[in-house]
């Protein structure tokens, strides 16, 4: 059986914690898309970790972690993160990397920086991890599958062609130093030697495991609104953030994905540029940003301040719908305890008409938020262990969200720690 944990919004919904929690009852945890660009924050008995590439299951000794073929795989980021986790006292994890995964090349990272520089104000707010150039090359069929590092003839021949092409761009478009072929080849040889022990046919491994009745957890990165097909294009990421893509990016049968848990945060936040209808500014925003998450709303990978806003039920309804969420986890609810009143965006006004359907980007640019205001609960809900013990106004806020997103909320997170989770019986 396969379960997927995915984001219903712009990412940073607190998926890391929910994954870490569900990993406890899973045999295998799989990353199937994205790369080392976004990060999960996990707080457990070993400490506080920001994971970028490693699946959240690495903290358990009963789980096997898999990096699926759909990931943008950075060998140095992988090796460094493994070393950091081990330095934090975590026992050496069991981890397998797909022999079909493609590798992020050093020049992908450079091109990401150079292109953002070139675009200046019109830039995408990329994390500059090389993800967009990586996926461009993958689909232009000039990428490198990790298995090709072991076939010297193919590697040298392809690398020559690619370096020639990249050097034209470096010289004539970006006016930057050209790639040195020999140095790059040497780097790739070192990647090959470092990664060799982890590689296998992970699709086959997963199929065999599923046949044997194992439980697999797919761990998504970012959220629906960053999906390149269904998100706020072009301010999106370069690989699909949807649970359905798990079948492709992990190489598993689509019909095995039985549960899809969409994670949504009790207010909104987004990193980077792009439409964000319920965004707030000034003092009000600074306060929410400062109090948000477990250490304020700052990116786990970049440390950049996140943009914040009130809960957007229009975006979240769409976000859960596109994920085909079978249930929803509502996170970071404890942060809102300081507010007298809480606004929720329940509609978008576009050209004088109010809609609750999430529109295409040109219309989204014109959308103005329609807010409804609910009373706050004015207390700290951290430490509460039973859903029923939450203050009435807090439960009303959750019921209100559930009605508007039209998806059953079964988990409510009231603190960053693994055990700060409340089970709720949905009303839908």
Binding positions for ligand GDP, rule: CB under 6 A:
7, 11-17, 38-41, 43, 293-295, 300, 331-332, 334-335, 413-416, 420
CB-count burial class (<10 Å; 0-12, 13-18, 19+) for 406: middle
**Cβ 298 to ligand GDP, closest distance in Å?**
9
Q: Specify the residue, 268 or 413, whose C-beta has the smaller distance to ligand GDP.
A: 413
Residue 4: closest CA among 267, 329, 314: 329
Please pick, among 27, 40, 99, 112, the residue that the annotation labels catalytic: 40
HEC string of 97-151 equals: EECCCEECCHHHHHHHHHHHHHHHHHCCCCCCCCHHHHHHHHHCCCCCEHHHHHC
Q: Reduce the DSSP state of residue 412 to 3 states and report it.
A: strand
Nearer CB in complex with ligand GDP: 247/333: 333
| 143 versus 416: smaller Cβ distance to ligand GDP | 416
Taking the complex as a whole, the smallest distance from the CB of residue 291 to ligand GDP amounts, in Å, to 8
Q: Identify which of residues 11 and 251 has a Cβ nearer to ligand GDP in the complex.
A: 11
CB of 121 to ligand GDP, least distance (A): 27
The answer to whether 12 is a known catalytic residue is yes
Question: Which of 231, 216, 226, 117 is CA-nearest to residue 175?
Answer: 117
Measured from the CB atom, the residue of 17 and 128 that comes closer to ligand GDP is: 17
Q: CB-based burial of residue 296 (10 Å sphere; 0-12 exposed, 13-18 middle, 19+ buried)?
A: middle
Q: Beta strands of 293-338 (E only): which ranges?
A: 307-309, 311-312, 327-331
Q: Is 371 helix (H, G, I), strand (E, B) or coil?
A: strand
- Which CB sits closer to ligand GDP, 13 or 137? 13
Q: Burial, 76: exposed, middle or buried (Cβ in 10 Å; 0-12, 13-18, 19+)?
A: middle
User: For residues 278 and 413, which CB has a smaller minimum distance to ligand GDP in the complex?
Assistant: 413
Nearer to ligand GDP, 17 or 108 (CB): 17
CA 46 – CA 80 distance, rounded (Å): 18
Catalytic residue among 12, 20, 227, 312: 12
**What is the smallest separation between the CB atom of 292 and ligand GDP, expressed in angstroms?**
7
Pull the structure tokens for residue 195.
Answer: 């990664």
For strands 216-223 and 341-350, give the pairing.
unpaired
Instruction: In angstroms, give the least distance from the CB of 155 to ligand GDP.
Output: 34
Q: Work out the end-to-end distance of the chain between its first and last CA atoms, rounded to an integer number of angstroms.
A: 25
Q: Are 270 and 276 in contact (CB under 8 A)?
A: yes
- Closest separation in Å from C-beta 297 to ligand GDP: 8
Judge whether 97 and 199 are in contact, CB under 8 Å: yes
Question: Is the distance from CB of 410 to CB of 426 less than 8 angstroms?
Answer: yes
Residue (of 405, 428, 406) closest to 312 by Cα position: 405
Q: In 144-239, which ranges are continuous DSSP H helix?
A: 152-168, 181-195, 202-211
> Exposed (0-12), middle (13-18) or buried (19+): which is 351, by Cβ within 10 Å?
exposed
Minimum gap (Å) between residue 120 Cβ and ligand GDP: 28
SS3 of 78, please? Answer: helix
Distance between CA atoms of 19 and 21, rounded to whole angstroms?
5
Q: How far is the CB of 226 from ligand GDP (least distance, A)?
A: 11
Provide the annotated active-site residues.
12, 40
């Amino acid at each position: 059986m396969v379960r997927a944990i995915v984001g219903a919004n712009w990412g940073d919904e607190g998926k890391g914690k929910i994954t870490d929690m569900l990993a406890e009852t899973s045999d295998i945890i799989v990353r199937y898309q994205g790369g080392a660009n976004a990060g999960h924050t996990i707080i457990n008995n070993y400490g506080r970790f920001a994971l970028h590439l490693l699946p959240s299951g690495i903290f358990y000794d009963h789980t096997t972690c898999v990096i699926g073929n759909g990931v943008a795989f950075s060998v140095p980021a992988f090796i460094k993160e493994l070393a950091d986790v081990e330095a934090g006292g975590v026992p050496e994890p069991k981890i397998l990397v797909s022999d079909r995964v493609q590798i992020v090349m050093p020049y992908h990272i450079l091109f990401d920086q150079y292109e953002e520089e070139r675009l200046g104000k019109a830039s995408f707010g990329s994390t500059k991890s090389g993800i967009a150039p990586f996926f461009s090359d993958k689909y232009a069929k000039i990428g490198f599958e990790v298995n090709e590092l072991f076939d010297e003839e193919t590697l040298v021949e392809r690398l020559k062609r690619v370096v020639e092409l990249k050097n034209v761009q470096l010289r004539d478009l970006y006016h930057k130093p050209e790639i040195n072929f020999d140095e790059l080849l040497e780097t790739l040889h070192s990647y090959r030697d470092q990664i060799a022990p982890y590689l296998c046919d992970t699709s086959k491994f997963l199929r065999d495991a599923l046949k044997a009745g194992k439980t697999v957890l797919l761990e998504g990165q970012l959220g629906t609104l960053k999906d390149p097909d269904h998100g706020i294009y072009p301010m999106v990421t370069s690989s699909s953030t949807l649970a359905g893509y798990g079948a492709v990016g992990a190489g598993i049968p689509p019909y095995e994905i039985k549960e899809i848990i969409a994670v949504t945060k009790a207010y909104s936040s987004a990193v980077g540029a792009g439409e964000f209808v319920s965004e707030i500014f000034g003092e009000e925003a600074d306060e929410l940003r400062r109090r948000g998450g477990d250490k304020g709303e700052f990116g786990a990978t970049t440390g950049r301040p996140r943009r914040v806003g009130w809960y957007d039920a229009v975006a979240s309804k769409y976000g859960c719908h596109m994920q085909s969420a079978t249930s929803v986890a509502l996170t970071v609810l404890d942060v809102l305890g300081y507010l007298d009143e809480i606004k929720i965006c329940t509609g978008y006004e576009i050209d004088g008409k109010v809609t609750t359907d999430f529109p295409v980007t040109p219309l989204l640019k014109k959308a103005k938020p329609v807010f409804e205001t609910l009373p706050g609960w004015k207390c700290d809900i951290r430490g509460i262990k039973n859903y029923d013990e939450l203050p009435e106004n807090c439960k009303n806020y959750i019921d209100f969200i559930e009605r508007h997103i039209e998806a059953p909320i079964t988990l409510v997170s009231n603190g960053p720690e693994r055990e700060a989770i409340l089970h709720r019986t949905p009303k839908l």
